[in-house]
Structure 1
Amino acid sequence: MNHLFTPYKIKGLELKNRVVMPPMCQYAVRNNDGIVNDWHYNHYLSRAIGGAGLIIIEMTDIEPDGRITDFDLGLWSDEQIAPLKRIVDAVHQYGAKIGIQIAHAGRKAEHAETPVAPSAIPFDETETYKTPRALTTDEIKQLVEKYRLAAERAIKAGVDTIEIHGAHGYLIHQFQSAYTNKRTDEYGKDLPLFGQQVIRAVKSVMPEDMPLFMRVSAREYVDGGYGLEESIAFSKVYKEAGVDLFHISSGGEGPILAHGRPGTHVAYQVPMAREIRNALNVPVIAVGRLDDPALANAVIGNEEADLVAVGRGMLRNPYWTLEAAKKLGKEIEFPGVYGMGFGLK
């Protein structure tokens, strides 16, 4: 039976365990240039030393106005490649693999002068979110090309995998949801079309043995939003377009009221990951309040997911994976003399 410390392979990507550090925005860029700095270097390297099998770098945007804030990472310029490669190379030294999530915030771009979206619908009525401008059909096709170029830069930086962000109310999510996409052109008549085109564009520059991940929201916590039936349907389109593994989250659209607020119990998204895994016969990452090692281990052992992402647990403790191995009684190789801290000679 597989467990949290069973190695995992998908295409040419070989992981030493099933523990994933998911993308978590650091809002740490200080020069408005989207370039990683020492904060990012130390942040990701410490989790590699801490034993994670796969690290996915935070949401990294394909153009300046695609960022949530001006403090986010970007991959719209060749100047951003070398600093990113420094992190990739350092992480590899400690036996971890590393990917990057590429994205566009769409109507949730807080610092863009005028955000863009499928339709001119603001995220909410607060001062944080402006009313976006609806993209033209030609502009959408230009954005597809920008995703391709960002993926090309990520590959030059040496990443082991790429994750396309299609969740949490950002641009691809906005296109695939009837709640936010009111267009009458081809991108309104076929809601997954934009995501499908992005996948194919990214896939076109990836090495044959590199797997493509995609993060999706399995359901929306808002009246008029989609549910699991719809997300299985558009994920099937995405799988056929070239996605090799899905990272299953939820939410991101509309005001979240108390009765529909997600995350009120541990493992609340695991059933959705299991349903998509079984419906599409595709590997998945489960995420969402899986910080307890025994629980994370059970998700793998019960074949509900293939990999487990631990977010807040790793923000609290860079060495979460080492702690999990100790608690679960699994033999692993500890870095340096760190094993002494876990009672090893």
Structure 2
Amino acid sequence: MSAPGSAGPALFRPITVRGLEIRNRVWVPPLCQYSVTARDGVPHDWHLVHLGAMAAGGAGLVVAEATAVSPEGRISDHDTGLWNDAQAEAWSRITRFIRSQGAASGIQLAHAGRKASVWPEPMRRRGSQPLDEGGWPTVSASAVAFDGYREPLALDEAGIARVIDDFRSAARRAVEAGFDLVEVHAAHGYLVHQFLSPLSNLRDDRWGGSLENRARLLLEIVRAVRAEIGEEMPLFVRFSATDWVPGGWDEDQTSVVVAWAKDAGADFFDISTGGLVAAADIPVAPGYQAHFAEYVGEHTEAAVSAVGRITDARHAERLVAEGRADAVMFGKAMMRDPHFAMRAAHELDAGTSMWPPQYLRARPEHNDGEW
């Protein structure tokens, strides 16, 4: 992992993770679009424009949305996938464009577990989809339903082995599709998080009980993915650092498992929170999750990114400059303004050269300094 240099704003210093140099610390997190019109998991023009605009807008890293490693792992039937070659080929068009704009591309590999088979946005309030309306049976660590959803089937040994192999195969296709890095989704109440949290994992076998057992699925996935992507490609893991519920998953357990995941081959940790319990009381405010990234980074010496209502360039600059995070993920801010990174560079006087040549005549220095 490269150390920050001394020149210019910290948010716009490059960072190197394994063999990949990323031009700045303004990153796009996975943002589910629920926009696969053919319902076959294949990304299309919307994904090219959505992700490509953020790359052209100056982001250092653009991570594609939670992408299912199997059909039954989708959140909804409008989700993208990476379980077949047609999907990989469609993604390759998108990664080529992102790279052409100077940004790095990542993909979040995911399995929704008990939170699968739900109506896509904006129909989510209807809960899980009935099986006779396009839904499918769901799986989890234990037969414990998410609030308002159908009861899942507890995975047996063969089912767990299939999940690990599905992540392995999807990772191989991610390489073939031209992604620069892979992220394993272990957050937001989805399958890997369901195994991690004692609130959803009630097993008494080698996949449940102790923290080591509850973390076993994640660590096996990390090892499998690392074996597929080789030694040069970075491997990220996204964690929810807390369930926001007493007796649930928390930042101390996260820190222990982050250290284990580093040993298993992961490089960088994308720290979010919540998602396992529907009724959790979450004190949402600007930067409300950033201190969890700082906590994990301090306790593990791992590289971490912060996310969560961070919309101000100077706020993000402080997080990186003070060593509280190595990068910042901007979700809704990027959706509102795909050129947020260029705007932030202007506000911080970064003097970067990341503007697309087609837009150079609109640079502030060419227009009396006004954005």
1:81 Cα offset (Å): 1.1
Report the counterpart of residue 221 of structure 1 in structure 2: 244
Between the two proteins, the alignment pairs up a number of residues equal to 339
Paired letter, 1:161: L
Amino acid at match of 2:139: V
8 A Cα contact 1:222 1:256, kept in partner: no
The share of aligned pairs that are identical, in percent, is: 39
Instruction: Give the superposition deviation at 1:35.
Output: 0.3
Equivalent residue number for residue 364 of structure 2:
343
2:217 to 184, 187, 194: 194
- Which residue number corresponds to residue 296 of structure 2? 276
Q: 2:36 aligns with which of 22, 29, 33?
A: 29
CA deviation map 1:177-211 (0-9, x unaligned): 11000112210141100001000000001121111
Counterpart residue type for residue 343 of structure 1: P
C-alpha separation between the residues in 2 aligned to 1:118 and 1:336? 50
Residue number in structure 1 paired with 2:60: 53
What do you get for the CA RMSD once the two structures are aligned?
Answer: 1.2
Q: Which moved more, 1:334-343 or 1:301-310?
A: 334-343
**Are 2:161 and 1:136 aligned?**
no
Residue 118 (structure 1) aligned to one of 141, 147, 150: 141
Q: Take 1:338 and 1:178, find their aligned partners in 2: how far apart are those partners?
A: 51
Whether the 8 Å contact between 1:221 and 1:262 is mirrored in structure 2 is: no
Specify the alignment match of 1:236 in structure 2: 259
Amino acid of the structure 2 residue aligned with 1:156 = E
Distance 2:361 2:315 in 1: 26
Of the three residues 318, 323, 327, the one matched with 2:338 is 318
Whether the aligned pair in 2 keeps the contact of 1:168 and 1:217 (CA below 8 Å) is yes
Does residue 69 in structure 1 map to residue 76 in structure 2?
yes
1:206 has 2:226 as partner: no
Cα 1:337–1:90 shift into 2, 3 Å: closer
| 3-state secondary structure, aligned to 1:187 | coil
Aligned to 1:81: 88
Aligned position for 2:18:
11
The residue aligned with 2:287 is 267
Amino acid at match of 2:364: G
- TM-score, normalised to structure 2, is 0.89
Gaps of 5+ in 1: none
CA-to-partner distance for each residue in 1:204-251, whole Å, 9 max, x for gaps? 011211111000011112243122111112222212211111000000
Q: TM-score, with normalisation over the residues of structure 1? A: 0.96
Amino acid at match of 2:288: Y
1:329 corresponds to which letter in structure 2?
D
Letter in 2 for 1:305: A
CA shift for structure 1 position 289: 1.2
Q: Please state if 1:296 is matched with 2:316.
A: yes
Give the drift of 1:337. 4.5
**What amino acid sits opposite 2:263 in the alignment?**
E
- For the Cα contact (< 8 Å) 2:243–2:249, is it kept in 1? yes
Deviation at 1:138, TM superposition (A): 1.4
User: How far apart are residue 262 of structure 1 and its match?
Assistant: 3.8
255 and 222 in structure 1: CA distance in 2 versus 1, 3 angstrom threshold:
farther
Query: 1:4-46 CA distances to partner (integer Å, 9 max, x unpaired)?
Result: 1111111111011111100010000011110000000100110
**Does the Cα contact within 8 Å between 1:221 and 1:256 map onto a contact in 2?**
no
2:45 aligned partner, one-letter code:
D
Check 1:222–1:32 CA distance in 2 against 1; reply closer, same or farther (3 A cut).
same
